[in-house]
Amino acid sequence: MKNTQTTAKDKPEPIDVQYRPILWLVAMGFFMQQLDSTIINTALPNIAKSLNENPLNMQSVIVAYVLAMAVTIPLSGWVTDRYGIRKTYFAAIILFSVASVACAISQTLNQLVIARVFQGIGGALLQPVGRLTLLKVMPKKQLLAALSFVSIPGLVGPLIGPSLGGALVELVSWHWIFFINVPIGIVGAFFTLRILPDLKMMNLEPFDYVGFLFIAVSMVSLSFVLESMVDPSHSQAHTLILLIVGLSAGASYWLHAIRHHSPLFHTSIFKVDTFSIGILGNLFARLGNGAIPFMLPLMLQVVLGFNPTIAGLMMIPLAIGSMIIKQYITKIIYRFGYRNVLTTNTILVGLGIASLAAISPSTPLWWQVIHFFLIGIVNSIQFTAMNTVTIKDLTTDDASSGNSLLSVVQQLSMSMGVAIAGAVLNNFIHIYGKTQMLLSFQYTFICLGSITVCASWIFWQLRKQNAPRKSTR
């Protein structure tokens, strides 16, 4: 039976040679940002020792980066439209590289935290501006293949980050986890000026500062709520106040956006069914996935006794699986349709996360490698399909707003996933004790997998999209 979700008009085309340099440049930006999100994790104890700090107080280094990214992403679309793709991407690479140097030469924890804030601002522009570049430059029929291509470095970065960070700390020093960004940034900045078009929008509406303030307060407050969930030193009253502030700011933004003539995120984009479903799907389907790059290396070290470098190297099969399947994702989606692929694959992703509960000290190493490889395959299909179905039906005018909101949701979902995983793990450890650490990890993976499986219902709603949308308005 012929698939009714696509027609000959929607069939994908191979990427033209003229667009390939742009794809490589965007992929480089994706790699820089994603790599730096995880490369620091295995190096924190060494950084703490160098700065004469307690390792338990180094969490602010991670929080500063993530919050700076989450808060800055809503600015990316307007800044790109106002100053142009070329100038914005160039400034993002330069800021990220300079902030990386500042991180490497920091002498105190406060200096490092401040440098990480600016690094997060630069990183927040790299990925959404890169994706927005593809939306504005690439022909529609080549967009899926383009997004699939540039997402490969984005998958590889966080997977090799922990092992690379551990290796650099052991072989050289922790400073090089930041210095490594400099040569990549120099090359990227050079080619940005050479090949990126200087596209910008004329007669741009003024920036929605009030809406941005509501969004920023909501994200920061809710992020601290998640931090409070895993930190017993915070009182319930403190957590409740932050929760109320965060929800109130979010509700205030929605009321503001309905009345404002040019809000930060147009509420009209939620009238596009694929966008609404894709945003919700990204939010909930990424909760389990967002925790895996943190939970899995932790279990390999705490339970199986791997050192940080080897635990990071065990993530390589995930990356290999992700890269191998990339060239087939476009064909899979156009063969079976977004609804069938995402509904089925979300279930497979959830089962894959839950299956990590089967790992024990007696599990053969070769089986762990195959296991992680298969999870990498379904993860890769999931990310590419979710991102594309979310933004594919947006008009050119809505591309900036929708793309920025998608990036915000991705960051928040991954942060929430890590916080939820930490809270669930700590709860099971409290119940079963530290002597049953393996059991606590196993139950946590089952919970994360169950959450992901439930998200498949969201993508099932794509059944209403039986034919290509002619117009989103």
Where among 263, 279, 305 does a domain terminate?
263
Claim to verify: residue 179 and residue 284 sit in the same structural domain = no
Claim to verify: residue 237 and residue 201 sit in the same structural domain = no
Question: In this structure, is the dihedral angle defined by the CA atoms of residues 299, 175, 129 and 218, taken in order, positive or negative?
Answer: positive
153 neighbors 30 (Cβ within 8 angstroms) = yes
37 pLDDT above the threshold of 90: no
Mean pLDDT for the stretch of residues 46-70: 73
In this structure, what token pair is assigned to residue 329?
A: 């994702």
Mean pLDDT for the stretch of residues 119-146: 77
Mean pLDDT for the stretch of residues 202-230: 79
Claim to verify: residue 346 and residue 382 sit in the same structural domain = yes
101 pLDDT above the threshold of 90: yes
Q: Containing domain of residue 253, as a range?
A: 211-263
Claim to verify: residue 233 and residue 202 sit in the same structural domain = no
Claim to verify: residue 217 and residue 350 sit in the same structural domain = no
User: Of 397, 367, 384, 303, whose CA–CA distance to 78 is shortest?
Assistant: 397
Claim to verify: residue 98 and residue 177 sit in the same structural domain = yes
For residue 440, the tally of other CB atoms under 10 A from its CB is 23
406 pLDDT above the threshold of 80: yes
**pLDDT reported for residue 115:** 93
| Cα(432)–Cα(60) distance, integer angstroms | 29
124 neighbors 205 (Cβ within 8 angstroms) = no
User: Of 70, 30, 150, 456, whose CA–CA distance to 285 is shortest?
Assistant: 456
Mean pLDDT for the stretch of residues 204-230: 80
Higher model confidence: residue 380 or residue 132?
A: 380
Claim to verify: residue 37 and residue 157 sit in the same structural domain = yes
What total of structural domains would you count in the chain?
3
User: Of 380, 393, 390, whose CA–CA distance to 330 is shortest?
Assistant: 380
20 pLDDT above the threshold of 90: no
- Which residue intervals of 172-235 are DSSP H helices? 176-179, 181-195, 209-230
325 pLDDT above the threshold of 80: yes
How far apart are the two ends of the chain, measured CA to CA in Å?
31
97 pLDDT above the threshold of 70: yes
Tokens 């500042």 -> residue:
102
pLDDT class for 5, splitting at 50, 70, 90? very low
User: Of 424, 161, 166, 441, whose CA–CA distance to 318 is shortest?
Assistant: 161
**pLDDT reported for residue 58:** 64
In this structure, what token pair is assigned to residue 396?
A: 């050119």
10 pLDDT above the threshold of 60: no
Claim to verify: residue 167 and residue 244 sit in the same structural domain = no
Claim to verify: residue 99 and residue 34 sit in the same structural domain = yes
130 neighbors 150 (Cβ within 8 angstroms) = yes
Mean pLDDT for the stretch of residues 69-76: 82
Claim to verify: residue 340 and residue 416 sit in the same structural domain = yes
**pLDDT reported for residue 466:** 39
Q: Is 234 exposed, middle or buried (0-12, 13-18, 19+ CB in 10 A)?
A: middle
Higher model confidence: residue 246 or residue 222?
A: 246
Residues 365-399 pLDDT 10s: 889 889 989 998 998 899 888 888 888 877 777 77
Claim to verify: residue 56 and residue 177 sit in the same structural domain = yes
Where among 163, 192, 207 does a domain terminate?
207
Claim to verify: residue 393 and residue 299 sit in the same structural domain = yes
CATH number for position 11: 1.20.1250.20
**pLDDT reported for residue 13:** 62
**pLDDT reported for residue 56:** 45
Higher model confidence: residue 155 or residue 211?
A: 211
Residues 410-439 pLDDT 10s: 877 877 777 778 778 878 878 887 778 889
**pLDDT reported for residue 29:** 78
pTM for the model stands at: 0.74
Where among 263, 278, 298 does a domain terminate?
263
| Cα(263)–Cα(401) distance, integer angstroms | 9
